[in-house]
Amino acid sequence: MPELPEVETIARGLRPLLVGRTITGVSILGPHLIPKRGKNFEEQMIGKRILDVYRRGKILIVELDNMNRLAFHLRMTGRLGLMPSGEKPGQHVHLLLALDDQTSLFFQDQRKFGTCALFAAGELEAWPFYAGLGPEPLAMDKEEFAARLKGKRGRIKGLLLDQRFIAGIGNIYADESLFRAGIHPALAADRLTPGQIGKLHAAVQDVLTEAIAAGGSSIRDYRTAAGLAGAFQETFQVYGCKSLPCHRCKGIVQTTRVAGRTSSFCPRCQPRP
């Protein structure tokens, strides 16, 4: 599933191409994509001007005039990009938004888990999933991060994956951040020392910043808005490295289950609690 760096990369790629454009046509090729807000969707979209493209957690948001916002959740295989208007859409394209510059914004999703919804003024903030998102990890200082951890008894990997605790982090960047901080994924959050909390805060921000600079991580389907693969996977230290030597200590990377997810770690660099 695309995580914060992938969605941020897509938003940054689309923003200069979409801002200022007007939507001139709508083609819903996959009715499943807009199940609850599909009524009059075409009429509501045509004529809208795009004001901004940005991200919140793992949600990509296209801001329109009159306080309307179009929200995409890419889920497992969702992808957004631009193509010339009139060109035959590729396989698994479920939505086309024709623009006034003879291009079309497309949403492609092979596994059909992605969603799209149009929100009028104030509705996005009232959406329970959106309203429940935790703070952005790149906007949190060390003190706020420590305050949110205070009193938490769950395993630290599970907390990093909890979108209500912190928004945008998934399996890849949780594992890579915990490795850099030298913290085992199963360690209880209330057992973290102030020093470990500081290291983890710095690791999360460093990993996410580096991943954005690298265009995200392409494991299977993810591509940027320009159709390019990300490059951060080339620098993975533990994620996807089971049974390989640790880049730091040459120990063997192992996996365990934490919060229902496979977690990769180095038993030497991240000793078990």
Residues tagged active-site: 2-3, 58, 261
Please report the domains of the chain, with CATH numbers, ordered by start residue: 4-131 (3.20.190.10), 137-265 (1.10.8.50)
Task: Please say whether the beta carbons of 201 and 145 come within 8 A.
Answer: yes
Q: Evaluate if residue 273 carries a pLDDT over 80.
A: yes
pLDDT for position 34: 76
Q: What percent of the chain has pLDDT over 90?
A: 87
pLDDT for position 31: 77
Predicted TM-score (pTM) of this structure: 0.94
CA distance 107 to 54: 16
Give residue-wise pLDDT tens across range 42-74.
889 999 999 999 999 999 999 999 999 999 999
Give residue-wise pLDDT tens across range 195-247.
999 999 999 999 999 999 999 999 878 899 999 999 999 999 999 999 999 99
pLDDT for position 269: 98
**Band of the pLDDT at 39, cuts 50, 70, 90?**
low
Task: Please say whether the beta carbons of 29 and 44 come within 8 A.
Answer: no
